[in-house]
Amino acid sequence: MTLVQMQPRSACPTPVHRPVGDAIDAAGPQVCDDMTVEVALAVMSSARTDHLLVCDEDGLCTGLVTQAQLATIRDSSAYTDQVRLRAVIGERGPFVTSSRTTMAEAEHAMRYRELDALPVVDEQGSALGVFARAR
């Protein structure tokens, strides 16, 4: 039999075990997925932000777009002014759920996918905010 030494647990969980919902930035501008890339870039510019949360017609978060991502699309040879955000986002996600995902899990997912930010949603899929890497 192996003896296991137990350490008393503090009342406050360590930061890596805290839910990601405890460390999110305000949601900021949210736009509908039928918005064009040009309009989205204008919204980002006026809001002075480098990302937008994208939602579908039901208000559910479908993802996040960055200014760099949209600028790359706008500068491509296949671009037209009719390109919608839903075409840029593609399939839904990635995002994390506020109450079920720890900060450590979110940071791992961001490193794995080489992301600077992830949308944080509630159990119904509504955007609550953005979990971003510390700069």
pLDDT at 108: 83
| CA–CA dist 133, 135 (Å, integer) | 6
What single DSSP character describes residue 116?
S
pLDDT at residue 35 tops 80 = yes
Return the domain boundaries, the chain. 18-132
Backbone CA torsion sign across 22, 24, 26, 32 = negative
- Whole-model pTM: value is 0.72
Q: What is the pLDDT of residues 77-107, one digit of tens each?
A: 888 889 999 888 866 667 777 767 788 888 8
Contact of 20 with 103, CB cutoff 8 Å: yes
Q: Hey, is 85 helix, strand or coil?
A: helix
Among 3.10.580.10, 2.40.50.100, 3.40.1160.10, 1.10.300.10, what is the CATH number of 18-132? 3.10.580.10
Q: Is 45 left (phi over 0), alpha (psi -120 to 50) or beta?
A: alpha
